[in-house]
Each structure stands twice: as structure tokens, then as C-alpha cells.
Chains A and B, each alone.
Chain A
Amino acid sequence: DQQVKQNSPSLSVQEGRISILNCDYTNSMFDYFLWYKKYPAEGPTFLISISSIKDKNEDGRFTVFLNKSAKHLSLHIVPSQPGDSAVYFCAAPYPNSGGSNYKLTFGKGTLLTVNP
């Protein structure tokens, strides 16, 4: 059961424009979300996160919006740059068995291509 869904496998935008990456989730117990960026043949790197007590978190060109009633979040990148071309994963942590740590469940990812 895919609890975190990214329904757009790819997105192509022009340099300088806004990129909007979307993510939906089904588990209302999720209270924290992360976005990871991944280049080919490398591990994901953390980009930005948001807690469910907020509806927006901004870090430079990256802003994440959370709509809890719709169980939807989005990552906005503005302005987009060619170096932003990568796969972006949405993820939600939930407690391990025993509750001592968290494990991440990931969406399938969206391949962003920023054209010069």
C-alpha cells in the first residue's frame, strides 16, 4: 500500500520559471514530511522538511506547502536552475517497531528537468 504518492513521474520546466512538485499521502497519522533530491547513481540528499503544525516552510529558492485537509504537499522551486534537474522524493517518517526510531516511506519520485 503506497502511503505516499507522487503521481507525476516527470516534469519539465524552463530555467528561471517555477517548478511545482506534488505529493499526496493517505495516512492521517503522518505529522512530518521531507523532500529529498537524488542525482543518478547517488544517494538521496535531504532538501527541506515541514511539520504538520505549519503550512509553509521556506529555505532560499525552495518552499514546501502543506495542506493537511487535502493530505497534500508541494515543493516549489523558484527560480528553477539547470542544476536542479534531479529526481525529487517526498517522504514521511513513522515510528519503527518499538518506537525508538523512525523509518521513512517514500513516494516513487518525480524527475525534474530544467531546460536552459
Chain B
Amino acid sequence: ETGVTQTPRHLVMGMTNKKSLKCEQHLGHNAMYWYKQSAKKPLELMFVYSLEERVENNSVPSRFSPECPNSSHLFLHLHTLQPEDSALYLCASSQDREAFFGQGTRLTVV
């Protein structure tokens, strides 16, 4: 139990589907993050929320849409994805410089 829970763990979706990834943290942290890990690439920061406000958006395509309704929950809404978006999507939370990660959602776009 890492304190950061992601659902679902695995997701297969077609390019015309709409789906959402969910993240919940039980650590009382004030920042939450979405990272993407593709094969043979470093972990890429996608979005940062601090105190429920989006403070970073690292040139992520608009087919990825984050939502942070409160400090404990973070969503990543997906629509019209491409096969190259297939990756491991990781949620993290932090209060200071150390981030705690969820187990990730393995996304496959077909």
C-alpha cells in the first residue's frame, strides 16, 4: 500500500473511445502529478496540480485532459487517443521534494 491508488490497473481502448484514469492519495499531500512512461524513455511529466490548481502543463496534447476536484483526487480524461499514446501512466503526490507514486495504469490504444 503506497498511499496512492490508481484505477484501473490495465485499460484497452479504441481510438474513438473516451475513458478516464483515476488517482486517489491518502497521504494528505498538496500536490499531485501525472507522469507518462513509454518504452525506453524517461518518465515524462505531463501535468502538475498544486493546491488543486494546475500549475504545469508540459505541452501535452489536448486529447489528454486532467481534472483535480480536490486535493485527494486526480483524473486524466482520455479521448481520441492514438496508438503511440500506449504507455504506463503514473500518478504521484508530494508535500515536499519526495514524490510517492501509484502503481500505474497500463494503457493500450488499439
Q: Which residues of A contact B (CB under 8 A)?
A: 2, 4, 32, 34, 36, 41-46, 49, 89, 93, 96-98, 100-109
Contact = CB atoms under 8 A, between A and B. Distances in A.
Contact of A49 (B43, B45, B90, B98): B98
Contacts of B100: 46
A43 B104 contact: yes
B43 A100 contact: no
B96 interface: yes
Nearest to A102: B97
B24 to A, nearest CB: 14
A42 B99 contact: no
Contacts of A108: 40-42
B interface bracket (residues with beta carbon within 8 Å of A): 20 to 34
A97 B2 contact: no
Contacts of B97: 32, 34, 49, 93, 102
Interface of B: 2, 4, 6, 30-31, 33, 40-43, 45, 48, 50-51, 55-56, 88, 90-92, 94, 96-104, 106
29 contacts: A32-B97, A34-B97, A41-B103, A41-B104, A41-B106, A42-B103, A43-B2, A43-B90, A43-B101, A43-B104, A44-B43, A46-B100, A49-B98, A89-B42, A93-B97, A96-B31, A96-B55, A97-B55, A98-B50, A100-B30, A100-B50, A101-B30, A101-B31, A103-B33, A103-B56, A104-B92, A106-B42, A107-B42, A109-B42
A106 to B, nearest CB: 4
